[in-house]
C-alpha cells in the first residue's frame, strides 16, 4: 500500500508523476482506428468500382494503397503538429527561465 491515501503510482500525488512535456496518449488514441477505417473505405470503394468497370482486382489494390497513403499522411501531419506544439512550449519555458 502507498504511504499516503489518494497517492498515485510510487506514492506521488495523483497527476504529479507525469512529465509536463511530451505527447499525451489520448492525443493519438484514435490513429490506429483511423488507419484501419481509411484502408477499409478505400478497399470497398475500389471493389465497388471494379465491379462497375470490370477491372478487378486493380482498383481494389489501388484503393488499398491510396487508403494507406492517406492514413500515413494524416499521421505524419498530426505528429508534426504535435511536435511543433511541444517545441514551442519548450522554447517558451526556456525564454521564461531567462
Extents of the domains making up the chain: 30-72
Cell representation of residue 31 = 490513429
Please indicate whether residue 12 or residue 63 has the higher confidence score (pLDDT): 63
Q: Are 35 and 25 spatial neighbours (Cβ–Cβ below 8 Å)?
A: no
What per-residue confidence (pLDDT) applies to 28? 78
What per-residue confidence (pLDDT) applies to 2? 53
* Rounded Cα gap, residues 93 and 75, in angstroms: 27
What per-residue confidence (pLDDT) applies to 18? 46
* Rounded Cα gap, residues 72 and 66, in angstroms: 10
CA–CA distances in Å: residue 23 to residues 9, 19, 83, 86: 20, 10, 8, 8
Amino acid at each position: 500500500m502507498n504511504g499516503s491515501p489518494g497517492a498515485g503510482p510510487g506514492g506521488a500525488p495523483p497527476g504529479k508523476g507525469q512529465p509536463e512535456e511530451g505527447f499525451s496518449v489520448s492525443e493519438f488514441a484514435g490513429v490506429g482506428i483511423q488507419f484501419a477505417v481509411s484502408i477499409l473505405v478505400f478497399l470497398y470503394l475500389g471493389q465497388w468500382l471494379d465491379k462497375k468497370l470490370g477491372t478487378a482486382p486493380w482498383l481494389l489494390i489501388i484503393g488499398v494503397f491510396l487508403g494507406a497513403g492517406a492514413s500515413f499522411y494524416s499521421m505524419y501531419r498530426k505528429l508534426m503538429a504535435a511536435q511543433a506544439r511541444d517545441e514551442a512550449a519548450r522554447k517558451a519555458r526556456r525564454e521564461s527561465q531567462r
